[in-house]
Amino acid sequence: MKQLANCLSLVLLGSVAIAAGCSTSSNAPSDGSAGGSTGGGGSNKNLQPLLPDPTGFVDVTATGATGIKGAWYAYGDGIGTDGTPTTGDCESKGMHAMSDCSSITTPGFGNFPNTAGKMCTSGTAAKVLTQVGGTMPDYTWMWGAGIGLDLNNGGGDAGATKLPYNATAAGVVGIAFDIDSVPLATLRVELPTATQDGTSAAFWGGDQMSSPILKGHNEFLWKDVKGPFYDSVAPPFDPTTILSIQFHIPTTTTASAAYSFCISNLSAILQ
């Protein structure tokens, strides 16, 4: 299970929103059926921006009728919910050395600044080592790193206050976002749910190794969220119990992978 490195201080600090670069488009069919998933091009969907305040908190007053609220956070196998490596999955459960685990350079624990509308991160996803005392690659406790946004979290520790979000009831049929640089390593846009969390989370393009992300504008509908591909009995994605959206750099047995990218203009696609 991923240990979310969300800060205890990311509580509601106000509803000031950074709107730089955000726009809406409403010239699409109201059923959200046209286009499927796209990358690197303009949007033709009805978009509701999910605007973070300067601390990375998305207040419900900045998300229209969607009712989405929550904090941006960074997470990784090398850091626990208290922000220390000693409680990270890789160290405390996998029993690996801290230097062998995934690391997050930015943002720092307890702080996720909104930089002119961009939520930026950098770090390194570890190379998967053999299980301590075993013979198999330790994907269980060396699973990588990333950033995410809770969709129904009024503030505080994500692990304590994270609640399921019913996108269907809110009329949300997908997600749009911009990315400034796609990591050379695999990047997955995951949608953990109440029943598919951690390493079992479905993701955009989940029948493949990675999400089909292109530099620039991207968007996808719930029908494009599948898998994960390595789970042969994975149930269909359930958009009525979404916990968060996560941009995850998974690990491999080949080599460690440095990453650096910024997400902006995160928006809900409305039906």
pLDDT band at 111 (very low <50, low <70, confident <90, very high): confident
User: How many other CB atoms are found less than 10 A from the CB of residue 236?
Assistant: 11
Helix (H) or strand (E) holding 260: strand 257-270
Dump strand ranges (E) for 157-215.
172-179, 188-190, 203-204
Q: Mean pLDDT of all residues in the chain?
A: 86
Strand partners, 216: 179
Arithmetic mean of pLDDT, 63-84: 95
Residue by residue, DSSP assigns 113-147 as --BTTEEEEEEEEPBPPBPTTSSSB-TTT---EEE
Q: Average pLDDT in the 15-29 region?
A: 31
- What SS3 class is residue 155? coil
The number of beta carbons lying within 10 Å of the beta carbon of residue 31 is 8
| 249-269 pLDDT, tens digit each | 999 999 999 999 999 999 999
**86, 231 contact by CB (below 8 A):** no
Which residue ranges make up each domain of the chain? 4-270
Q: What is the DSSP letter of 100?
A: G
Question: Which has more confidence, 19 or 83?
Answer: 83
Q: pTM of the predicted model, to two decimals?
A: 0.84
Other beta carbons less than 10 A from residue 30's beta carbon: 10
| Tens-place pLDDT, residues 165-215 | 999 999 999 999 999 999 998 999 999 999 999 899 999 999 999 999 999
Place of tokens 């992978």: 257
Q: pLDDT band for position 38 (50/70/90)? A: low
Mean pLDDT of 131-160: 88
